[in-house]
Copies of this chain bind each other. A is one copy, B any other.
Amino acid sequence: MKDLQTLRSGIDDIDKEILGLFLKRMELCKGVADYKKANNLPVFQGGREQQVLDRIMALTNNKDLEKGTAALFANIMDISKILQNRTILAESPDYTFTVPDFDGAKKIGCQGTSGANSEAAARSVFGDREFTFYPSFEDVFKAVQSGELDYGVLPVQNSTAGSVDSTYDLMAKYPVYIVREVIIEINHCLAAKNDMPLPDIEMVYSHPQALAQCESFLRKNRLRTAGYGNTATAAENVMNSKENIAAICSVECAERMGMKILARDIADVSLNRTQFIIISKDMQVAPDSDSVSVMLTIPHKEGSLYRMLTKFYVNDMNLIRIESRPIRDGSFNVMFFLDFTGKITDPSVKAVMRDLEENCGTFRCIGTYKSE
C-alpha cells in the first residue's frame, strides 16, 4: 500500500495538469463566445451539451464512475457558459436604475393598524411620517402597483414562526420590486389599562402567533388567553374595555396607547425578529445594494437546482435564502424565491441573470437592496 504522502503528491501533479487543460479549454470557449457573439447565436445549445456528456460517458468505460464524470463535465460546461456570457455581456451597456428616495417619499403604506409591527418597520426607514394602513397585504401590493403608494412595507419572515407565505405569493402575483430590507426586533410585553397583579387578569388577548411565542410565561402564570386579529387591535380592545384584561403587544405599541406594562420580555425565545421588505412599482437600486432577489421555476430535470446553484457559486454570489411556494396548478411543483449576494451592476451578476432568463421556465429579478 502506497503511503498517503506519495498518493497526495500524485494527486497534486494530476490536478496541475487538469488545471492547465481547463485553462486551455476556457481559451477555446472564449473563442466560441466570440464566434457566437459575432454570429448572434445563443450561448446555450442543448444538443451540443448532450453530445459532450454522451461522449464522456462512453469514454469513461467504468459504470461506477459514469455518473461522476458526467457530473464533472456538466460542471465544466456550466462554468464555461458563465464565462461565455460574461464575454458577451462585457461590452453591453449598463442598465440605468432610479435610486430609491426614502427621504422624499410621501405615500407609504402598510397592513394592519397603527401600533403594529409593520408600522415600527416603516418608522425605522421613514421616520415620523404619516402611514396609510390597509386591511390586507394584497391591498398594499395593489396600492403600490397603481401608484397610490410610493412604498409599501410588508413582513417576509419571522425568526420563530418562519416565512410569511402570503407575501411571497403576492410577490409572484404583482410586478413590484423589493428595494429595501428592514429587520425589527419584536419585544413582547404584557400590558393593561392600569397596574394590577397578574392573578387579577381575567383574560390575555393577542394574535395567536404572539400567544404561541409567549406560551411558557402564560402557562407559568396560569393566564387564560384568547386569539385576536393582531397585537395592536388586541391592545386597543384592552384599552376600550372595562374588564380586568391584558394584551400581549410590542413595548412600542403599549407606550403609544398609554398602557401600563405589567411584564417585559415575556417571549419563550428572547430574541424574536421579523424581516420586512419595502416594495416599489419600479426597479430602484440603492448604491449600497449588495443582494439580489429572484423568483424562478426550474426545469423538471435531474439536478436542475444543483446546476442552477453552480451559476451563482462560480460567480461568487452566495445563497442567503431559498424559499418555495406552490405554483397552484394542482401539482406539487413550486416557484423558488432565492436571495443571493451580488451587485446588479457587476458583469458576473448580469451574466448569471442572462443565463437564468435563457434557461428557466419563469424568471424575474424581484429586486436588489442592501442585506441587513
B60 with A71: CB separation less than 8 A: no
**Neighbouring B residues of A212 by C-beta, 8 Å:** 166
The B-contacting residues of A in range 245-295, CB under 8 angstroms, are 268-273, 275
| Complex copy number for this chain | 2
A306 with B332: CB separation less than 8 A: no
The SS class assigned to the A binding surface is helix
Shortest Cβ distance from A25 into B: residue: B14
Distance between Cα atoms of A158 and B8 in the complex (Å): 51
Shortest C-beta distance, A356 to chain B (Å), equals 15
* A325 part of interface (Cβ distance < 8 Å): yes
A68-B82 in contact given A38-B1, A332-B275 (Cβ < 8 Å): yes
B59 with A16: CB separation less than 8 A: yes
B159 with A330: CB separation less than 8 A: yes
B72 with A22: CB separation less than 8 A: yes
Distance between Cα atoms of A361 and B62 in the complex (Å): 34
* A220 part of interface (Cβ distance < 8 Å): no
A59-93: CB near B (< 8 Å → 1, else 0) gives: 11010110111011101100100110010000000
Shortest C-beta distance, A154 to chain B (Å), equals 16
A332 with B159: CB separation less than 8 A: yes
A52-B326 in contact given A17-B21, A21-B21, A315-B67 (Cβ < 8 Å): no
**Neighbouring B residues of A105 by C-beta, 8 Å:** none
A306 with B313: CB separation less than 8 A: yes
* A48 part of interface (Cβ distance < 8 Å): yes
A313 with B71: CB separation less than 8 A: yes
* A358 part of interface (Cβ distance < 8 Å): no
Shortest C-beta distance, A364 to chain B (Å), equals 19
Shortest Cβ distance from A316 into B: residue: B67
Chain A interface residue count, Cβ-Cβ cutoff 8 angstroms: 91
Contact of A71 among B14, B75, B269, B323 (CB under 8 A): B75
A319-B331 in contact given A12-B52, A69-B22, A162-B165 (Cβ < 8 Å): no
Distance between Cα atoms of A14 and B29 in the complex (Å): 11
Contact of A32 among B4, B32, B162 (CB under 8 A): B4
Distance between Cα atoms of A17 and B73 in the complex (Å): 12
Shortest Cβ distance from A157 into B: residue: B332
Distance between Cα atoms of A321 and B273 in the complex (Å): 27
* A198 part of interface (Cβ distance < 8 Å): no
What are 5 A-B residue pairs whose CB atoms fall within 8 Å in the complex?
A: A7-B28, A7-B35, A14-B21, A15-B56, A270-B330
| A interface residues with partner B (beta carbon < 8 Å) | 1-4, 7-8, 10-12, 14-19, 21-26, 28-29, 31-32, 34-35, 38, 48, 52, 55-56, 59-60, 62, 64-65, 67-69, 71-73, 75-76, 79, 82-83, 86, 157-162, 165-166, 208, 212, 227, 268-273, 275, 302-303, 305-306, 309-310, 312-316, 318-319, 321-326, 328-332
